[in-house]
Structure 1
Amino acid sequence: MDHRLSPWRLGATLYMPAVRSDIADAILNNKIAGLRSLVICLEDAVSDADVPLALSNLQQLLSQLAEAKNATGHDHWPLVFIRPRHAEMGEQLISGMDLSAVDGLVLPKFTLQSLPVWWRIIQETHLCMMPTLETEEVFDVLQMRELAVTLQSHACYERIIALRIGGNDLMNVVSLRRSRNFTLYDSPMGYVIKMLVAVFSSRDFSLTAPVCEHIDDHQIMDQELALDMAHGLVGKTAIHPNQIGKIEQALMVTATDHADALRILNSTQAVFKSQGAMCEPATHRRWASGILARAQVYGIAAEKSQEGIRLMKANPNN
C-alpha cells in the first residue's frame, strides 16, 4: 500500500455530507486546520430526498479535484474517501464519475456476505477500502472471527487501510443511544471494541474509533480518547472541526512511551526495567513499533511537572 495510505495518517477523520458546498476548500485550500482525512458522505448524513443533489454536487467536486491533482499533485491534501449509500451506488460512482483524486471508499454495513460484491466493484480500481463494522453481526464474536480470517487471506487484504467501528449504528442495533455522562466504553460498545481489537488487531488489521457526538463536552471526549489509545485504535471519526485538535493531541505519543519503545527495539537484554516498569522486547516489540510509527506522524507530548504539557510537534512533512 502507498505510504500516503498508512492507517496512522488517518487521524481525525471528518465526515462531511456530500451536499456541502465547501468540501473543495477543505481539501484544496486547507480550510480546516489539521485535517488529515475526510469522508464525503452519501449515506446517513444525506436524506433520501437530497441524494440527487448530493450526487450532482459530488460529480462537480470530483472534476475540480481531478483537475487540481493533475496540475499540482495531491501529496499535500488530506486523504479523501467517499462513503456511498450501498454497493449499487458504489458501482455507479466508479462507472460514472472520475475518482482519480479519491483515495478510497468507506464501505457501509460491511459483512462477510457483502465482501464479494464490494471486491468485484473495487478490484480493478486504485481505490483502497475502509469497511465499516456496524451491523448486528458485529456483536457475534464467531462471525467476526470468520470475517477476520476471510479478509486476512483475501486478495483485498492489502487494500484495507483500516476497519471503521460504527458506534451509532451498533448502539441502534441494541436500541440505545450513548449517555451524555459516560464514554462509549461504559456502554455495550465497551465489549464490542475490546472484542474487535482482540479479533482483528491480532491479525494485523487497524481499527478506528467511533465518533463522540458530544461536540461541546470535551471532558467526555478526553476520557474516551484516552481509552481509544489504550485499546490501540489508530484514529477517530470526527463530526465537527473542533474535535480535530483533541484527537490529534491524543494521538501524540508520551515521552515515556517513546523512550520505552526506543529501548525495547534497540535492547539486547531479554528483560529490563525502564521508568518504573518492566520491558520485555520479545512481547513488547509490536507495541514499540506502533508507538514509533505514531510518533513519526503526530509527535511527542513531553510532560513538565511545573509547566503542564509541552507539545513537541511531529515533522511537518509527515
Structure 2
Amino acid sequence: MEASELTAGTALRRFSYLRDEVQDQLFAVRPGALRAAGSARELGSALGAVLYSPANSPRAAERLLGGLWPSITAMVFCLEDAIADRDLGAGEAQVVQVLRAVRQKVEAAGSRAGLPFIFVRVRTPEHFERLLGMWGDLQSELDGVVAPKIGAAGLAPYLELAASARSGRDRALSILPILEGEDFAMRETRGEALAGLRTAFDAYSDLIPCVRIGGTDLSGLWGLRRPRDFTIYDVGVVRDIIGDVVNVMGREPSPVAISGVVWEFIRDARVFKPRLRETPFKDEFGEQGQQVRLELVTAALDGLLRETLLDRANGLHGKTIIHPSHAAYVDAAHVVSHEEWESARAVLSAVEAGDGVGSLRGGERMNEPKPHAPWARRTMLRAQAFGVLQPEHSFLALLQDPRRG
C-alpha cells in the first residue's frame, strides 16, 4: 500500500483512506471530525481501535505520521511492560522525538486537526512527573497518558499531575487508567476499589475520557491466557470483572467509556470451526463473499470481530490492538447501522414528544422511549465518530477495501 501524506490541518476522520465515491456509497452519514470532541465523554466515544507500540520502536512514529497507517486514529507509545527496563532510556528519548515530530506537523499546517491522538503509557506517577519535566513545553503535543496497574489507590497522583499540566494547553491532558491492580481484580476488594475509582472519576471527569481493562495482566493473576478459539468472555474470572466495571463505571447518568481488552492473536492454528456465517458475506459481496470470509478466518480476524461485537453488547467501547491491520476491523464493528440510527432517532424523538412504546418503521424493533433513551444517546455519539451505513450495507462492507492500512 502506498503511503499518503498526513496533513495536520485536514480533519482527522475515521475511514478517510476510502475514496470519496466509496464513502458516499457506504455511508448515509459520514464519520465526523474526531478532534472536534468538546468533552471527555465525546473523546471517549471517539476512540475506537487504539494501537499500542513499544516506545523504543524506531519506525512506529514515522509510519504513523507519514501516513503509512491511515486507519490508525489513536496510538499509545508504551514505556511500561512493552519494553525492557534496560531500554527505558531509549524509549524516553524516542518519545521526545515523537513529540518534536508532532510539533513540526502542527506548525507546518497551523493546526493539529488532522493528526492522530498520541498517548504515552508511563510506569508510575513518579515516572510521569519526571517525564513532564523532561518534555517541558513539548507535553502540549501529547493528548494524554495511560496509567497502568490501577486499583483502589494510585490514580489520584496521575490526575493531580495532569491537572497541574493544564496551563498553556489548548485541551486537557487526558488520563486513561488501565484497571489491572490486584485489589481491583480480587472479589473481596473489588467493590471498594471500583467505588474509589468512581469517586475519582466524578471529581476529575474532564480528564478521563475512558478507562481500559488490562485483560492480559488480569488473566495472569490466575495463570490464564485465552486460547485462539475463545474470547475474553469465555474466561470466567475476567468476564466477571468486566461486568462489575460496567456496572459501576458505565451506569447512567454519567457513564465513562470502557475500552475492550487487547486481542493478541495475529495468526494461529484453530481447533473449532469459525463462527462467521457465509450468508452475510454473500449478501454483501456476492461471489467474492466466500474469499473475504476465508481471509478473515485465516488471519484470526473472525475471533477479533466476535470479541469486539461481544464488547459492544456488554457495554464496552473501543479496543486495544497490537497490529495496525486490526484497526479497520475494530472500527468497522463500531459503525452504526442504518436501522440502529433510525431507531435511536425515533427513541429520542418519542422522549421529546412524551410518547410511549412504539415500533420502528417496518416493525423490526420495539422502541420503549424511557429505558432506551440512554442507548439512543450513546448510539448518536457513536454515529458522530464512526458514521452511519446506508440501509443496504452492513459493517462487513468496510472490511474489503485494500487501502485500510
Q: Is the TM-score greater than 0.5?
A: yes
Where 2:320 maps in the other structure, the secondary structure is strand
Pairing 1:1-318 to 2, within 5 Å after superposition:
3=37, 6-72=43-109, 73-97=111-135, 98-126=138-166, 127-139=173-185, 140=187, 141-154=190-203, 156-187=204-235, 188-202=237-251, 203-215=254-266, 216-267=299-350, 268=353, 269-274=355-360, 275-302=363-390, 304=392, 310=397
CA gap 1:302/1:214 in 2 versus in 1, 3 angstroms: farther
Shift of 1:303: 5.9
Instruction: Identify which range, 126-135 or 52-61, moves more after superposition.
Output: 52-61
Where 2:140 maps in the other structure, the secondary structure is coil
CA gap 1:64/1:33 in 2 versus in 1, 3 angstroms: closer
TM-score by length of 1: 0.91
Tell me which protein shows more strand as a share of its residues. Answer: 1
Percent of aligned positions that are identical? 29
Shift of 1:27: 4.0
Q: Report the residue type matching 1:83 in the other structure.
A: R
- Whole-angstrom CA distance in 1 between matches of 2:66 and 2:46: 19
TM-score by length of 2: 0.72
Deviation string, structure 1 residues 111-135 (Cα, Å, up to 9, x no partner): 3321232233222113111011012
Structure 1's unaligned 5+ residue stretches are 312-318
CA gap 1:219/1:59 in 2 versus in 1, 3 angstroms: same
Q: Residue 211 of structure 2 contacts residue 259 of structure 2 at CA under 8 Å; is this kept in 1?
A: yes
- Whole-angstrom CA distance in 2 between matches of 1:256 and 1:263: 10
- Give the equivalent residue in structure 1 for 2:21: none
Q: Report the residue type matching 1:21 in the other structure.
A: P
Q: Residue 128 of structure 1 contacts residue 160 of structure 1 at CA under 8 Å; is this kept in 2?
A: yes
Deviation string, structure 1 residues 194-225 (Cα, Å, up to 9, x no partner): 11111100141110001111123112111101
Q: How many residues align?
A: 310
Find runs of 4+ consecutive structure 1 residues off by over 3 angstroms: 301-305, 307-311
CA gap 1:279/1:93 in 2 versus in 1, 3 angstroms: same
Instruction: Identify which range, 264-273 or 293-302, moves more after superposition.
Output: 293-302
Where 2:263 maps in the other structure, the secondary structure is coil
Where 2:49 maps in the other structure, the secondary structure is strand
Alpha carbon RMSD of aligned pairs, Å? 2.2
- Whole-angstrom CA distance in 2 between matches of 1:199 and 1:289: 19
Structure of higher CA gyration radius: 2
- Whole-angstrom CA distance in 2 between matches of 1:150 and 1:236: 24
